[in-house]
Amino acid sequence: MANTTSQKSAGQLLLAFLTRLHFYIGLFVGPFIFIAALTGTLYVMTPQLERMIYHHELITDSRGTPQPLLAQIQSARNSLPEDLPLRAVRPATGAGMTTRVMFKDPGLYGWELQTVFVDPVTLEIRGTLASYGTSGILPLRIKLDYLHQNLLLGPVGRYYSELAASWMWIAASGGLILWWTSRRRYAKANSRNAYIRHRKNHTKAGLIIMLGLFFISATGLTWSKWAGSNIAQWRHSIGWVTPSVSLRLNDIPSAATKPAAVTQNTPHAEHINPHVDHQITADNTQLTVHPADALFDGVLQAARDAGIDAAKLEIRPAASPDKAWKVREIDRSWPTQVDSVAVDARTMTVTSRADFKDFPLVAKLIRWGIDAHMGVLFGLPNQLILAAFGLTLCAMVIWGYRMWWQRRPQPGSPAQTLMHAWIVLTAPQRWIIIIIAALLGFAMPVMGISLLIFVVFDAIRWRRSQTLQSAHSV
């Protein structure tokens, strides 16, 4: 009988500690989780709005046979006020769509590219906008993405989103334990009591989106700076690496080697030298041609012949003579098309490939998980589910704060601290908590540092409370 009482008492002490920890997470991390949920919801619900705002750049009324990529690239180059390095080309995905010719511009932030939208039939320039990422998002959603990532604060702002992602699954786990241990007691509680009503709403919402909390937290951490780096190293150590093509060529082309694409039905091929820019005449207009531009059509055809059949794809020229060109599919909706090939532009042969069907199951799950997190895997249904999740999570945070406000400590009342719950724990419980906290803090440094801040803050409150109690007892 004594053992049963002792075990029950130890469980109650541990539950009191978890309750206090759950409270601190909600109080201090709750605002960051709220902002991440709200900005994420805005991001996933705006693809359609983006297509409306940038309709002129994305859509064209012309119909007919598309011009060679060489001509489209040349038109894009001539529209720029200065010569910029060509980063990639995304051919039009169908009739009435524009081609994206993407340049690296030092005036843009981070991985943004200066993107020229070209009518593939008439070569009309439909506009120039910054684009970002595999999804090719445009200025409106770039701002929303940065707001979600870093609150528009740059690299330092990324700590906020990593903080939210690190604690979200811990808060969900603690909330699940608290619900399970108190479900019978609160099931019979009077819902006309404001605190009870908000608690029930908070709990029901959490149970409904519980799986989503773990999913969004896990996938979000893969993008984070510190935890994401640890996750990448861990995946590499156990072989959970996403396959990719090798761009390394066996030999470096000699100066006398002439690119194959220039000798194979390339417009104006007789005028192009592979080593310097040249002037050619087209309809009595002087045009500057970059030698590598003439290779895009041949590289695209080689990739098509090798089975790259998605409408959405991207062609990236070689970064150096000893590297291959890369052609990759970028359609991440269902069914996923993300195959890629490396092409030797000298011979127009495929030197390496990575097909999604051959990916290990874990790599496929990671790919699908990230795309579902971004709202692109299942299109509109994916967007609606994420929006419902995000708004529910925002409501949970609000209900949590309402609960705290209704039971906030009154002036002069004893402080309820984590330290009070800690000092009455058994020695084994303390050691288990310390070990778990150390491991999680190492894996998720932002969470670990924030936990230390919680502990210091709590210790100060506890010490002040002890001092006041001692003064009153004298």
DSSP secondary structure, 293-327, as one string: GGGHHHHHHHHHHTT---SSEEEE--SSTTB-EEE
DSSP assignment string, 286-299: EEEE-GGGGGHHHH
351 plus 404 within the same structural domain = no
Indicate the residue among 358, 393, 408 that finishes a domain. 358
Q: How far apart are CA 245 and CA 368, in angstroms?
A: 19
Record the tokens describing residue 401, joined without a space. Answer: 């704060």
Q: Is residue 305 located within the same domain as residue 392?
A: no
Q: How far apart are CA 254 and CA 205, in angstroms?
A: 65
Do 317 and 400 have their domain in common? no
**460 shares a domain with 381:** yes
- DSSP secondary structure of 167-191: HHHHHHHHHHHHHHHHHHHHHTS-T
- The answer, yes or no, to whether residue 84 has pLDDT greater than 90, is yes
**Does 93 score more than 60 pLDDT?**
yes
Asked if residue 161 is part of any domain, the answer here is yes
Q: Verify that 413 and 439 share a domain, yes or no.
A: yes
- Quick one: 343 and 424 in the same domain? no
Asked if the structure places residue 14 within a domain, the reply is: yes
Element (H or E) spanning 443, and its range? helix 427-443
* pLDDT of 127 above 70: yes
- In the listed set 358, 384, 417, which residue is the last one of a domain according to the structure? 358
Kindly state the average pLDDT of the residues 6-13.
70
User: Sorting pLDDT into bands at 50, 70 and 90, what band is 128?
Assistant: very high
Same domain, 184 and 131: no
Q: What percent of the chain has pLDDT over 70?
A: 88
Q: Examine the pLDDT at 271 and tell me if it is beyond 70.
A: no
**Cβ-proximal residues to 405 (8 Å cutoff; 6+ apart), any chain:** none
Rounded mean pLDDT, 84-88: 97
> Would the CA dihedral through 28, 30, 34, 36 be positive or negative?
positive
Whether 13 and 160 share a structural domain: yes
pTM of the model: 0.88
First to last CA, the chain: 40
300 close to 266: Cβ distance less than 8 angstroms: no
Could you list the residue range(s) of the whole structural domain that residue 103 is in? 55-137
- For residue 172, tell me if it sits in a domain: yes
User: Residue 105: what residue type?
Assistant: D
Q: Are residues 25 and 162 in the same domain?
A: yes
pLDDT, tens digit (0-9, with 9 covering 90-100), for 160-219: 999 999 999 999 999 999 999 988 887 777 777 888 899 999 999 999 999 999 999 999
Tokens representing 28? 């201090």
Which of 324, 358, 392 is the endpoint of a domain?
358
**Banded model confidence at residue 269, pLDDT cuts 50, 70, 90:** very low
Over residues 429-451, mean pLDDT: 96
Neighbour count for residue 52 (Cβ, 10 Å): 10
Q: Please count the structural domains in the chain.
A: 3
Same domain, 177 and 131: no
**CATH number (domain holding residue 267):** 3.10.450
State residue 260's pLDDT score: 44
Residue 365 per-residue DSSP state: H
Of all residues in the chain, what percent are helix, strand and coil, respectively (each to 5)? 55, 15, 30
Shared domain check, 36 and 173: yes
Q: What is the pLDDT of residues 345-385, one digit of tens each?
A: 999 999 999 999 999 999 999 999 999 999 999 999 999 99
For 219-243, letters b (16+ CB in 10 Å) and e give bbbbbbebbbeebeeebeeeebeee
In a domain, 249, yes or no: no
